[in-house]
Amino acid sequence: MDLLRRFGQFLDRPGFPWKRLVVTFQIAQYIFEGFLSFRQYKILQQTRPPKTLEGEVKQETFDKSQAYGRAKAQFGLYSGVYSQIQNFGTIYFDLLPQLWDLTGTWIHRSAPQGFTGEITHTLVFFFVYNLGTTILNLPIAYYSTFVLEERFGFNKSTVKLWVTDLLKGQALGIALGAPLLSAFLAIVQKTGNSFFYYLFLFGIGVQLFAITIYPIAILPLFNKLSPLKEGELKTGVEGLAKRLDFPLKQLFVIDGSKRSAHSNAYFYGLPWKKHIVIYDTLIEKSETEEVVAVLSHELGHWSLSHTTKLFGIAQFHMFYVFALFSVFINNRSLYQSFGFHREFPIIIGFILFSEALAPMDMVIKLLMNVLSRRFEFEADEFAVKLGYSTELARSLIKLQIQNLSTMDADWMYASYHFSHPILPERLGALGWSGKEKKADPKAMNGEKPSVITGREL
Protein backbone atom coordinates (compact mmCIF):
# COMPACT_ATOMS: atom_id res chain seq x y z
CA MET A 1 0.00 0.00 0.00
CA ASP A 2 2.75 2.45 0.91
CA LEU A 3 4.57 1.62 -2.33
CA LEU A 4 1.45 2.38 -4.37
CA ARG A 5 0.92 5.64 -2.48
CA ARG A 6 4.48 6.82 -3.11
CA PHE A 7 4.25 5.81 -6.77
CA GLY A 8 1.04 7.83 -7.05
CA GLN A 9 2.72 10.89 -5.53
CA PHE A 10 5.63 10.52 -7.94
CA LEU A 11 3.29 10.53 -10.96
CA ASP A 12 1.17 13.45 -9.76
CA ARG A 13 3.33 16.29 -11.05
CA PRO A 14 1.72 19.69 -11.66
CA GLY A 15 1.82 20.64 -15.31
CA PHE A 16 2.76 17.14 -16.49
CA PRO A 17 1.58 16.89 -20.13
CA TRP A 18 -0.68 13.85 -19.78
CA LYS A 19 -2.91 14.94 -22.68
CA ARG A 20 0.02 15.33 -25.05
CA LEU A 21 1.38 11.96 -23.94
CA VAL A 22 -1.94 10.19 -24.56
CA VAL A 23 -2.47 11.84 -27.95
CA THR A 24 1.11 11.06 -29.01
CA PHE A 25 0.65 7.40 -28.15
CA GLN A 26 -2.69 7.22 -29.97
CA ILE A 27 -1.06 8.62 -33.11
CA ALA A 28 1.92 6.27 -32.76
CA GLN A 29 -0.38 3.28 -32.28
CA TYR A 30 -2.46 4.24 -35.32
CA ILE A 31 0.67 4.60 -37.47
CA PHE A 32 2.07 1.30 -36.21
CA GLU A 33 -1.18 -0.58 -36.85
CA GLY A 34 -1.46 1.09 -40.24
CA PHE A 35 2.05 -0.16 -41.06
CA LEU A 36 1.03 -3.69 -40.10
CA SER A 37 -2.13 -3.41 -42.22
CA PHE A 38 -0.03 -2.26 -45.18
CA ARG A 39 2.17 -5.35 -44.82
CA GLN A 40 -0.92 -7.56 -44.65
CA TYR A 41 -2.51 -5.82 -47.63
CA LYS A 42 0.45 -6.89 -49.77
CA ILE A 43 -0.23 -10.49 -48.76
CA LEU A 44 -3.88 -9.99 -49.76
CA GLN A 45 -2.78 -8.97 -53.25
CA GLN A 46 -1.12 -12.32 -53.91
CA THR A 47 -2.67 -14.31 -56.74
CA ARG A 48 -1.78 -17.84 -55.70
CA PRO A 49 -2.71 -19.67 -52.47
CA PRO A 50 -0.02 -20.93 -50.07
CA LYS A 51 1.53 -24.21 -51.19
CA THR A 52 -0.18 -26.11 -48.37
CA LEU A 53 -3.58 -25.11 -49.78
CA GLU A 54 -2.90 -25.41 -53.50
CA GLY A 55 -4.45 -28.86 -53.62
CA GLU A 56 -7.39 -27.90 -51.39
CA VAL A 57 -8.65 -24.51 -52.54
CA LYS A 58 -9.83 -23.63 -56.01
CA GLN A 59 -8.47 -20.49 -57.63
CA GLU A 60 -11.92 -18.87 -57.79
CA THR A 61 -12.40 -19.37 -54.05
CA PHE A 62 -8.94 -18.03 -53.26
CA ASP A 63 -9.54 -14.93 -55.39
CA LYS A 64 -12.82 -14.25 -53.60
CA SER A 65 -11.16 -14.76 -50.20
CA GLN A 66 -8.45 -12.27 -51.13
CA ALA A 67 -11.06 -9.76 -52.31
CA TYR A 68 -12.97 -10.12 -49.04
CA GLY A 69 -9.76 -9.62 -47.06
CA ARG A 70 -8.91 -6.48 -49.02
CA ALA A 71 -12.44 -5.12 -48.56
CA LYS A 72 -12.21 -5.65 -44.79
CA ALA A 73 -8.76 -4.02 -44.71
CA GLN A 74 -10.03 -0.96 -46.58
CA PHE A 75 -13.04 -0.75 -44.29
CA GLY A 76 -10.75 -1.02 -41.29
CA LEU A 77 -8.66 1.89 -42.62
CA TYR A 78 -11.66 4.20 -43.05
CA SER A 79 -13.35 3.20 -39.79
CA GLY A 80 -10.01 3.68 -38.01
CA VAL A 81 -9.69 7.22 -39.36
CA TYR A 82 -13.27 7.93 -38.27
CA SER A 83 -12.52 6.61 -34.78
CA GLN A 84 -9.36 8.72 -34.52
CA ILE A 85 -11.28 11.85 -35.52
CA GLN A 86 -13.79 11.14 -32.74
CA ASN A 87 -11.03 10.56 -30.17
CA PHE A 88 -9.03 13.64 -31.10
CA GLY A 89 -12.17 15.79 -31.24
CA THR A 90 -13.19 14.63 -27.76
CA ILE A 91 -9.75 15.42 -26.35
CA TYR A 92 -8.98 18.64 -28.26
CA PHE A 93 -12.33 20.31 -27.55
CA ASP A 94 -12.46 19.06 -23.92
CA LEU A 95 -15.82 17.40 -24.56
CA LEU A 96 -15.61 15.22 -21.44
CA PRO A 97 -15.49 18.09 -18.93
CA GLN A 98 -18.12 19.98 -20.92
CA LEU A 99 -20.46 16.98 -20.91
CA TRP A 100 -19.82 16.44 -17.20
CA ASP A 101 -20.70 20.05 -16.42
CA LEU A 102 -23.77 19.95 -18.70
CA THR A 103 -25.20 16.80 -17.12
CA GLY A 104 -24.41 18.15 -13.65
CA THR A 105 -26.31 21.36 -14.34
CA TRP A 106 -29.30 19.39 -15.61
CA ILE A 107 -29.32 17.13 -12.52
CA HIS A 108 -29.17 20.01 -10.06
CA ARG A 109 -32.05 21.72 -11.83
CA SER A 110 -34.26 18.68 -12.41
CA ALA A 111 -33.45 15.85 -10.01
CA PRO A 112 -34.81 15.53 -6.46
CA GLN A 113 -32.48 16.60 -3.68
CA GLY A 114 -31.54 13.03 -2.74
CA PHE A 115 -30.41 12.21 -6.29
CA THR A 116 -27.80 14.88 -6.94
CA GLY A 117 -24.71 13.00 -5.76
CA GLU A 118 -21.78 11.67 -7.78
CA ILE A 119 -23.36 8.27 -8.46
CA THR A 120 -26.49 9.77 -10.06
CA HIS A 121 -24.37 12.30 -11.95
CA THR A 122 -22.13 9.52 -13.27
CA LEU A 123 -25.08 7.40 -14.43
CA VAL A 124 -26.58 10.32 -16.37
CA PHE A 125 -23.17 11.27 -17.79
CA PHE A 126 -22.46 7.71 -18.85
CA PHE A 127 -25.89 7.30 -20.44
CA VAL A 128 -25.52 10.48 -22.51
CA TYR A 129 -21.91 9.67 -23.45
CA ASN A 130 -22.78 6.11 -24.49
CA LEU A 131 -25.83 7.29 -26.45
CA GLY A 132 -23.71 9.83 -28.31
CA THR A 133 -20.97 7.35 -29.25
CA THR A 134 -23.58 4.77 -30.31
CA ILE A 135 -25.24 7.28 -32.66
CA LEU A 136 -21.89 8.39 -34.07
CA ASN A 137 -20.93 4.77 -34.80
CA LEU A 138 -24.24 3.77 -36.41
CA PRO A 139 -23.02 4.48 -39.98
CA ILE A 140 -19.98 2.25 -39.46
CA ALA A 141 -22.05 -0.58 -37.96
CA TYR A 142 -24.67 -0.31 -40.71
CA TYR A 143 -22.07 -0.35 -43.50
CA SER A 144 -20.29 -3.34 -41.97
CA THR A 145 -23.48 -5.42 -41.82
CA PHE A 146 -25.52 -4.31 -44.81
CA VAL A 147 -22.82 -3.37 -47.31
CA LEU A 148 -19.59 -5.23 -46.60
CA GLU A 149 -21.03 -8.47 -45.23
CA GLU A 150 -23.96 -8.34 -47.66
CA ARG A 151 -21.63 -7.99 -50.63
CA PHE A 152 -19.90 -11.27 -49.82
CA GLY A 153 -23.03 -13.19 -48.85
CA PHE A 154 -22.61 -13.26 -45.08
CA ASN A 155 -25.42 -11.07 -43.80
CA LYS A 156 -28.77 -12.72 -43.10
CA SER A 157 -30.13 -10.03 -40.83
CA THR A 158 -32.77 -7.43 -41.71
CA VAL A 159 -32.79 -3.75 -40.84
CA LYS A 160 -35.69 -4.40 -38.48
CA LEU A 161 -33.82 -7.17 -36.67
CA TRP A 162 -30.65 -5.08 -36.59
CA VAL A 163 -32.47 -2.12 -35.02
CA THR A 164 -34.27 -4.42 -32.58
CA ASP A 165 -30.98 -5.95 -31.46
CA LEU A 166 -29.52 -2.47 -31.05
CA LEU A 167 -32.41 -1.32 -28.87
CA LYS A 168 -32.30 -4.51 -26.81
CA GLY A 169 -28.58 -4.03 -26.29
CA GLN A 170 -29.07 -0.46 -25.12
CA ALA A 171 -31.88 -1.50 -22.76
CA LEU A 172 -29.75 -4.29 -21.31
CA GLY A 173 -26.86 -1.88 -20.94
CA ILE A 174 -29.03 0.38 -18.81
CA ALA A 175 -30.71 -2.40 -16.83
CA LEU A 176 -27.44 -4.18 -15.98
CA GLY A 177 -24.93 -1.38 -16.34
CA ALA A 178 -26.61 1.09 -13.98
CA PRO A 179 -26.53 -1.14 -10.85
CA LEU A 180 -23.04 -2.45 -11.66
CA LEU A 181 -21.63 1.04 -12.19
CA SER A 182 -23.37 2.27 -9.04
CA ALA A 183 -21.83 -0.59 -7.05
CA PHE A 184 -18.39 0.15 -8.57
CA LEU A 185 -18.58 3.79 -7.49
CA ALA A 186 -19.97 2.98 -4.03
CA ILE A 187 -17.13 0.53 -3.36
CA VAL A 188 -14.51 3.15 -4.29
CA GLN A 189 -16.25 5.80 -2.18
CA LYS A 190 -16.69 3.70 0.95
CA THR A 191 -13.58 1.50 1.18
CA GLY A 192 -10.79 4.10 1.17
CA ASN A 193 -7.35 3.46 -0.29
CA SER A 194 -7.87 -0.30 -0.22
CA PHE A 195 -10.79 -0.13 -2.65
CA PHE A 196 -9.01 -2.18 -5.29
CA TYR A 197 -9.19 -5.34 -3.12
CA TYR A 198 -12.95 -4.99 -2.87
CA LEU A 199 -13.33 -4.11 -6.56
CA PHE A 200 -11.39 -7.27 -7.39
CA LEU A 201 -13.74 -9.43 -5.31
CA PHE A 202 -16.73 -7.63 -6.78
CA GLY A 203 -15.39 -8.28 -10.30
CA ILE A 204 -15.07 -12.01 -9.63
CA GLY A 205 -18.64 -12.09 -8.34
CA VAL A 206 -19.91 -10.26 -11.42
CA GLN A 207 -18.18 -12.76 -13.71
CA LEU A 208 -19.67 -15.75 -11.91
CA PHE A 209 -23.09 -14.10 -11.98
CA ALA A 210 -22.73 -13.43 -15.71
CA ILE A 211 -21.75 -17.04 -16.42
CA THR A 212 -24.92 -18.17 -14.66
CA ILE A 213 -27.41 -15.57 -15.86
CA TYR A 214 -26.33 -14.97 -19.48
CA PRO A 215 -27.61 -18.23 -21.02
CA ILE A 216 -30.78 -18.15 -18.91
CA ALA A 217 -31.94 -14.54 -19.13
CA ILE A 218 -29.93 -12.67 -21.78
CA LEU A 219 -29.19 -15.06 -24.65
CA PRO A 220 -32.88 -15.98 -25.16
CA LEU A 221 -33.61 -12.30 -25.88
CA PHE A 222 -31.58 -12.59 -29.07
CA ASN A 223 -31.56 -16.26 -30.04
CA LYS A 224 -33.56 -19.44 -29.56
CA LEU A 225 -31.95 -22.46 -27.93
CA SER A 226 -33.42 -25.87 -28.75
CA PRO A 227 -32.34 -29.29 -27.46
CA LEU A 228 -30.29 -31.20 -30.03
CA LYS A 229 -32.47 -33.90 -31.55
CA GLU A 230 -31.73 -37.57 -31.10
CA GLY A 231 -29.47 -38.92 -33.78
CA GLU A 232 -25.93 -39.65 -34.85
CA LEU A 233 -24.58 -36.20 -33.90
CA LYS A 234 -26.03 -36.24 -30.39
CA THR A 235 -24.75 -39.77 -29.84
CA GLY A 236 -21.30 -38.79 -31.07
CA VAL A 237 -21.04 -35.67 -28.89
CA GLU A 238 -22.33 -37.46 -25.79
CA GLY A 239 -19.87 -40.27 -26.42
CA LEU A 240 -17.02 -37.75 -26.70
CA ALA A 241 -18.08 -36.03 -23.47
CA LYS A 242 -18.28 -39.36 -21.63
CA ARG A 243 -14.89 -40.39 -22.97
CA LEU A 244 -13.34 -37.20 -21.55
CA ASP A 245 -15.36 -37.13 -18.30
CA PHE A 246 -16.75 -33.80 -19.41
CA PRO A 247 -19.70 -32.90 -17.10
CA LEU A 248 -22.19 -32.44 -19.94
CA LYS A 249 -25.67 -31.51 -18.77
CA GLN A 250 -27.41 -30.51 -22.02
CA LEU A 251 -26.79 -30.17 -25.76
CA PHE A 252 -28.38 -27.21 -27.55
CA VAL A 253 -28.74 -25.94 -31.10
CA ILE A 254 -28.89 -22.16 -31.51
CA ASP A 255 -30.59 -20.40 -34.42
CA GLY A 256 -27.61 -18.31 -35.47
CA SER A 257 -28.72 -18.50 -39.09
CA LYS A 258 -31.39 -15.85 -38.60
CA ARG A 259 -28.67 -13.19 -38.43
CA SER A 260 -25.59 -14.50 -40.11
CA ALA A 261 -24.05 -17.39 -42.00
CA HIS A 262 -21.23 -17.47 -39.45
CA SER A 263 -21.13 -20.41 -37.05
CA ASN A 264 -20.09 -21.08 -33.52
CA ALA A 265 -19.69 -23.96 -31.13
CA TYR A 266 -19.01 -23.39 -27.49
CA PHE A 267 -19.68 -24.61 -23.97
CA TYR A 268 -20.61 -22.75 -20.83
CA GLY A 269 -21.59 -23.40 -17.25
CA LEU A 270 -20.20 -24.07 -13.80
CA PRO A 271 -17.37 -26.56 -13.30
CA TRP A 272 -19.73 -29.41 -12.38
CA LYS A 273 -22.46 -28.69 -14.95
CA LYS A 274 -21.64 -27.78 -18.54
CA HIS A 275 -23.80 -27.11 -21.58
CA ILE A 276 -22.69 -27.34 -25.22
CA VAL A 277 -24.19 -25.02 -27.83
CA ILE A 278 -23.84 -25.70 -31.58
CA TYR A 279 -24.94 -23.22 -34.21
CA ASP A 280 -27.43 -24.53 -36.75
CA THR A 281 -25.20 -23.23 -39.56
CA LEU A 282 -22.33 -25.43 -38.39
CA ILE A 283 -24.54 -28.52 -38.38
CA GLU A 284 -25.93 -27.64 -41.81
CA LYS A 285 -22.51 -27.13 -43.46
CA SER A 286 -20.56 -30.02 -41.88
CA GLU A 287 -20.55 -33.78 -41.70
CA THR A 288 -21.34 -35.34 -38.34
CA GLU A 289 -17.77 -36.46 -37.69
CA GLU A 290 -16.50 -32.98 -38.57
CA VAL A 291 -18.78 -31.38 -35.97
CA VAL A 292 -17.58 -33.90 -33.40
CA ALA A 293 -13.99 -33.09 -34.41
CA VAL A 294 -14.69 -29.39 -33.86
CA LEU A 295 -16.01 -30.17 -30.39
CA SER A 296 -13.05 -32.44 -29.64
CA HIS A 297 -10.87 -29.39 -30.22
CA GLU A 298 -13.12 -27.23 -28.00
CA LEU A 299 -13.22 -29.83 -25.23
CA GLY A 300 -9.46 -30.07 -25.58
CA HIS A 301 -9.30 -26.52 -24.24
CA TRP A 302 -11.29 -27.71 -21.22
CA SER A 303 -9.35 -30.93 -20.70
CA LEU A 304 -6.00 -29.14 -20.94
CA SER A 305 -7.22 -26.47 -18.49
CA HIS A 306 -6.83 -23.69 -21.05
CA THR A 307 -10.09 -22.07 -20.00
CA THR A 308 -9.07 -22.24 -16.34
CA LYS A 309 -5.64 -20.77 -17.08
CA LEU A 310 -7.11 -17.94 -19.15
CA PHE A 311 -9.64 -17.23 -16.40
CA GLY A 312 -6.82 -17.08 -13.87
CA ILE A 313 -4.80 -14.72 -16.07
CA ALA A 314 -7.88 -12.54 -16.49
CA GLN A 315 -8.27 -12.31 -12.71
CA PHE A 316 -4.63 -11.35 -12.27
CA HIS A 317 -5.00 -8.71 -14.99
CA MET A 318 -8.14 -7.32 -13.35
CA PHE A 319 -6.38 -7.07 -9.97
CA TYR A 320 -3.37 -5.35 -11.50
CA VAL A 321 -5.63 -2.84 -13.34
CA PHE A 322 -7.57 -1.97 -10.18
CA ALA A 323 -4.36 -1.72 -8.14
CA LEU A 324 -2.84 0.67 -10.69
CA PHE A 325 -6.08 2.63 -10.76
CA SER A 326 -5.60 3.31 -7.06
CA VAL A 327 -2.36 5.04 -8.04
CA PHE A 328 -4.09 7.35 -10.55
CA ILE A 329 -7.45 8.00 -8.88
CA ASN A 330 -6.13 11.02 -6.96
CA ASN A 331 -3.76 12.24 -9.68
CA ARG A 332 -4.83 15.87 -9.99
CA SER A 333 -2.36 16.56 -12.81
CA LEU A 334 -4.06 13.88 -14.94
CA TYR A 335 -7.52 15.36 -14.38
CA GLN A 336 -6.36 18.93 -14.95
CA SER A 337 -4.54 18.04 -18.14
CA PHE A 338 -7.90 16.96 -19.60
CA GLY A 339 -9.85 19.99 -18.38
CA PHE A 340 -11.12 18.88 -14.95
CA HIS A 341 -10.04 21.61 -12.53
CA ARG A 342 -12.86 21.79 -9.96
CA GLU A 343 -14.30 18.26 -9.83
CA PHE A 344 -12.44 14.95 -9.98
CA PRO A 345 -15.08 12.27 -10.69
CA ILE A 346 -14.19 8.63 -10.14
CA ILE A 347 -15.48 7.48 -13.53
CA ILE A 348 -13.52 10.19 -15.33
CA GLY A 349 -10.42 9.10 -13.47
CA PHE A 350 -10.96 5.54 -14.64
CA ILE A 351 -11.49 6.63 -18.26
CA LEU A 352 -8.34 8.77 -18.27
CA PHE A 353 -6.37 6.06 -16.45
CA SER A 354 -7.42 3.59 -19.16
CA GLU A 355 -6.06 5.96 -21.81
CA ALA A 356 -2.76 6.29 -19.95
CA LEU A 357 -2.56 2.49 -19.60
CA ALA A 358 -3.01 1.86 -23.34
CA PRO A 359 0.71 1.17 -24.08
CA MET A 360 0.76 -1.61 -21.49
CA ASP A 361 -2.47 -3.00 -22.93
CA MET A 362 -0.75 -3.34 -26.32
CA VAL A 363 1.99 -5.44 -24.77
CA ILE A 364 -0.51 -7.60 -22.90
CA LYS A 365 -2.54 -8.10 -26.08
CA LEU A 366 0.58 -9.31 -27.91
CA LEU A 367 1.53 -11.72 -25.12
CA MET A 368 -2.03 -13.07 -24.84
CA ASN A 369 -2.13 -13.73 -28.58
CA VAL A 370 1.14 -15.67 -28.32
CA LEU A 371 -0.33 -17.77 -25.50
CA SER A 372 -3.65 -18.24 -27.30
CA ARG A 373 -1.96 -19.50 -30.48
CA ARG A 374 0.00 -21.97 -28.38
CA PHE A 375 -3.24 -23.20 -26.78
CA GLU A 376 -4.81 -23.64 -30.22
CA PHE A 377 -1.99 -25.89 -31.35
CA GLU A 378 -2.30 -27.89 -28.12
CA ALA A 379 -6.07 -28.29 -28.60
CA ASP A 380 -5.50 -29.45 -32.17
CA GLU A 381 -2.97 -31.99 -30.92
CA PHE A 382 -5.50 -33.14 -28.34
CA ALA A 383 -8.06 -33.78 -31.11
CA VAL A 384 -5.42 -35.69 -33.09
CA LYS A 385 -4.75 -37.97 -30.12
CA LEU A 386 -8.48 -38.69 -29.98
CA GLY A 387 -8.32 -39.85 -33.59
CA TYR A 388 -9.85 -36.80 -35.30
CA SER A 389 -6.85 -35.60 -37.29
CA THR A 390 -8.41 -36.04 -40.74
CA GLU A 391 -11.87 -34.83 -39.71
CA LEU A 392 -10.46 -31.75 -37.99
CA ALA A 393 -8.29 -30.88 -40.99
CA ARG A 394 -11.28 -31.27 -43.32
CA SER A 395 -13.45 -29.08 -41.11
CA LEU A 396 -10.75 -26.41 -40.91
CA ILE A 397 -10.46 -26.31 -44.71
CA LYS A 398 -14.24 -26.22 -45.16
CA LEU A 399 -14.70 -23.45 -42.65
CA GLN A 400 -11.86 -21.46 -44.18
CA ILE A 401 -13.48 -21.70 -47.60
CA GLN A 402 -17.02 -21.11 -46.41
CA ASN A 403 -15.92 -18.07 -44.42
CA LEU A 404 -13.55 -16.71 -47.09
CA SER A 405 -11.04 -16.36 -44.26
CA THR A 406 -7.57 -15.02 -44.94
CA MET A 407 -5.49 -17.96 -46.12
CA ASP A 408 -2.10 -16.41 -45.49
CA ALA A 409 -0.79 -13.63 -43.29
CA ASP A 410 2.21 -11.41 -42.77
CA TRP A 411 4.08 -12.67 -39.71
CA MET A 412 4.18 -9.28 -37.98
CA TYR A 413 0.50 -8.62 -38.60
CA ALA A 414 -0.46 -12.11 -37.43
CA SER A 415 1.68 -11.86 -34.28
CA TYR A 416 -0.02 -8.64 -33.26
CA HIS A 417 -3.62 -9.28 -34.32
CA PHE A 418 -4.26 -13.04 -34.51
CA SER A 419 -5.25 -15.15 -31.51
CA HIS A 420 -5.26 -18.27 -33.75
CA PRO A 421 -2.60 -19.71 -36.07
CA ILE A 422 -3.28 -19.36 -39.79
CA LEU A 423 -4.65 -22.39 -41.63
CA PRO A 424 -1.40 -23.54 -43.35
CA GLU A 425 0.35 -23.63 -39.96
CA ARG A 426 -2.44 -25.67 -38.39
CA LEU A 427 -2.63 -28.12 -41.29
CA GLY A 428 1.13 -28.56 -41.11
CA ALA A 429 0.93 -29.30 -37.38
CA LEU A 430 -1.90 -31.77 -38.03
CA GLY A 431 0.25 -33.60 -40.56
CA TRP A 432 -2.34 -33.08 -43.29
CA SER A 433 -1.26 -34.94 -46.41
CA GLY A 434 -3.32 -32.91 -48.84
CA LYS A 435 -4.57 -35.99 -50.68
CA GLU A 436 -8.21 -35.06 -50.35
CA LYS A 437 -10.23 -33.75 -53.28
CA LYS A 438 -10.30 -29.98 -53.69
CA ALA A 439 -13.01 -28.48 -51.57
CA ASP A 440 -15.73 -26.88 -53.67
CA PRO A 441 -17.89 -24.34 -51.83
CA LYS A 442 -20.79 -24.98 -54.25
CA ALA A 443 -20.90 -28.60 -53.18
CA MET A 444 -21.10 -27.86 -49.48
CA ASN A 445 -24.82 -27.71 -48.88
CA GLY A 446 -25.39 -24.10 -49.74
CA GLU A 447 -23.62 -20.95 -50.76
CA LYS A 448 -23.49 -19.18 -47.41
CA PRO A 449 -20.14 -19.30 -45.53
CA SER A 450 -19.60 -20.15 -41.90
CA VAL A 451 -16.86 -19.75 -39.33
CA ILE A 452 -16.12 -20.77 -35.79
CA THR A 453 -16.16 -17.61 -33.69
CA GLY A 454 -15.88 -16.70 -30.03
CA ARG A 455 -13.56 -19.36 -28.65
CA GLU A 456 -12.73 -20.09 -32.26
CA LEU A 457 -11.79 -23.43 -33.64
The residue among 98, 96, 91 whose CA lies nearest residue 17 is 91
Residue 355 a catalytic site member = no
Q: Which of 298, 355, 410, 425 is catalytic?
A: 298
Amino acid letter at 321? V
Angle 144-147-152 (CA atoms, 0-180°, nearest 5)? 95
Q: Which of 56, 149, 380, 391 is catalytic?
A: 380
Cα gap 240→249, rounded to integer Å:
13
State how far Cα 164 lies from the chain centre: 21
Q: What are the backbone angles phi and psi of residue 184, rounded to the nearest 5°?
A: -55, -50
At a CB cut-off of 8 Å and minimum separation 6, what does 350 contact? Answer: 325, 329
Cα gap 392→257, rounded to integer Å:
23
Cα gap 32→39, rounded to integer Å:
11
Residue 451: other Cβ atoms inside 10 A: 21
Beta bridge partners of 273: 270
Residues in the chain: 457
Query: 67 near 44, Cβ under 8 Å?
Result: no
Residue 118 a catalytic site member = no
Q: Which helix (H) or strand (E) holds 227?
A: strand 225-227
Alpha helices in 144-230 (DSSP H): 149-151, 159-190, 195-213
In eight-state DSSP terms, residue 423 is H
Residue positions annotated with a catalytic role: 298, 380
